[in-house]
Chains A and B, each alone.
Chain A
Amino acid sequence: MKHIKTLNTKRLNSTVKKGCGECQTSCSTVGNQTCEK
């Protein structure tokens, strides 16, 4: 693409099917958290 550069391939809706609850609690964050599974 000439006008647009997309920075990431992951789409949030792809995570709906695959909620396991293995992630850590987050806090003073979800933004910088990485899925453990």
Chain B
Amino acid sequence: MVHQFQNNGFNIVLDVNSGAVHVVDEICYDLIAEWERMPESADVPEGVHKEAVVDRVLERYREQGREIRREEILEGYEEIRELAEAGALFTKDDYETAVIDYTKRPTVVKALCLHIAHDCNLACRYCFAEEGEYHGGKRELMPLEVGKKALDFLIENSGNRKNLEVDFFGGEPLMNFEVVKELVRYGREREQEAGKKFRFTLTTNGVLLNEDVMEFANREMDNVVLSIDGRQEVHDRMRPFRGGQGSYEVILPKLLEMAKRREQAGKKYYVRGTYTRFNKDFAADVLHLNELGFREISVEPVVAPLSEPYALREEDLPELLEEYDRLAAEMAARAGTDRAFTFFHFMIDLEGGPCVYKRLSGCGSGTEYMAVTPSGELYPCHQFVGNPDFLLGDVWNGIQRQDVVTDFKGCNVYSREACRNCFARFYCSGGCAANSYNFTGKIRDVYEIGCALQKKRVECALMLKAAEAEAAEAAETAEETE
């Protein structure tokens, strides 16, 4: 299976099952499309296939009044054949049995999302956590003892795994900062005797960032996510304080300072925004964040019921897809300059990415990853918190709903009909179970708007790799001619 697309002046061919990515000229682009329509088979001798494919392409060029020599097309055909024989084009998906077997293995818990505060100082209109209260829950802060028990649960259920991830989440986790500090201290105490290494991370709206928090975060946090949506009018419309006033001017200087310190310390961070139907021109928000000085940026589509005026709708897709193209082209243009930036969903690792088992077996929610509420309840992930059907157990008694865990364990690319033949499946892993559940009532279906956006983001990511290769080649050539 191949996926062909044109983006920003590049003809790109992804051989889906091998992961090989090719930038081709127009002749090969057309030849590969023809080859897909007329695949080789044992019944058709090689020479006959070659003549048929080449003739069809040549005929089309003649109809278009273009003069392209047959020898050129034959040359392209031979290059394609060479790649096909090398296992880099027209490869088959032979992974299903191995991946299904893999998903049946015993799993360990790798990561916890600690809902350190079910409370928030902002009243963001699109928040799935509903100002931190999570679907009719109450405002509460996680007591230290619950947090300690959660870390104990993680250590005890992580098998031989050394690296354990704990994200301080909310609501707004800094509303319970003293407990955050105590839990990090407790985790560091337990690391030695348990033979584990905690990677702590923090997701914050920035309102309570101060000298004490920044110093602590730089020392202890492996990564920090800073929430900001982009331009002031966009941000303030969706992220007001509870009293209604915008939060942009309060948080911006704090986020800039935090980002600067993270960069100076060589530590990871990114700013994370949400775009809605109110700012379908979200590329302007990403570029605004870049111009403010942020270099690690993520701005993601809102996922909300269609009853909400800000929810994305199917008819918005053409505009949104174009916007991703626009953003990718600008990211390519800024690469290598002092305004270079990364965009979370355009980053792709073509040489060192994960194995097929990881790529096809889903995100790990409900099996390797769980969310813990302030009262110690366990849920498959932060987006299921508050839904009693997904309450797995608690940190004192462990998992009580093995049936739900088993259901999540079976989430993989092959269990979702829409994913089986999707070109993006090795880069998407089957999408988000929570989004699927919220839109279809099933965790093993897909959220179609999310799929369309993800496919476009994968295409943009591959285009950026092509642009990067082209720039490297140009630099090399320039060096040789000097």
Contacts and interface: CB of A to CB of B under 8 A. Distances in A.
Given A8-B19, A11-B20, A13-B94, A35 B75 contact: no
Contacts of B349: 31-34
B177 interface: no
Given A8-B19, A11-B88, A34 B354 contact: yes
Contacts of A16: 95, 98, 355-356
A31 B427 contact: yes
A36 B199 CA distance: 14
A10 B75 contact: no
Nearest to B17: A12
A7 B21 contact: yes
A12 B107 CA distance: 23
A10 B428 contact: no
B25 interface: yes
B409 interface: no
Nearest to B461: A31
B19 to A, nearest CB: 4
Contacts of B91: 13
Size category of the binding interface on chain A? 20 to 34
Contacts of B345: 29, 31-32
Contact of B359 (A7, A12, A18): A12
A5 B355 contact: no
Contact of B24 (A3, A13, A26, A34): A3
Interface in A1-37: 1-13, 15-16, 18-36
A4 B83 contact: yes
B340 interface: no
A15 B94 CA distance: 12
Interface string B416-431: 0000000000111100
Given A11-B20, A12-B426, A25-B110, A31 B75 contact: no
Given A26-B364, A30-B359, A31-B347, A3 B353 contact: no
Given A3-B25, A9-B351, A13-B18, 8 more contacts: A6-B20, A11-B18, A12-B355, A21-B108, A27-B369, A29-B428, A31-B427, A32-B349
For the complex of A and B, the 8 pairs showing the least CB-CB separation, nearest first, are: A15-B355, A31-B427, A25-B364, A32-B347, A8-B350, A25-B369, A30-B429, A12-B19
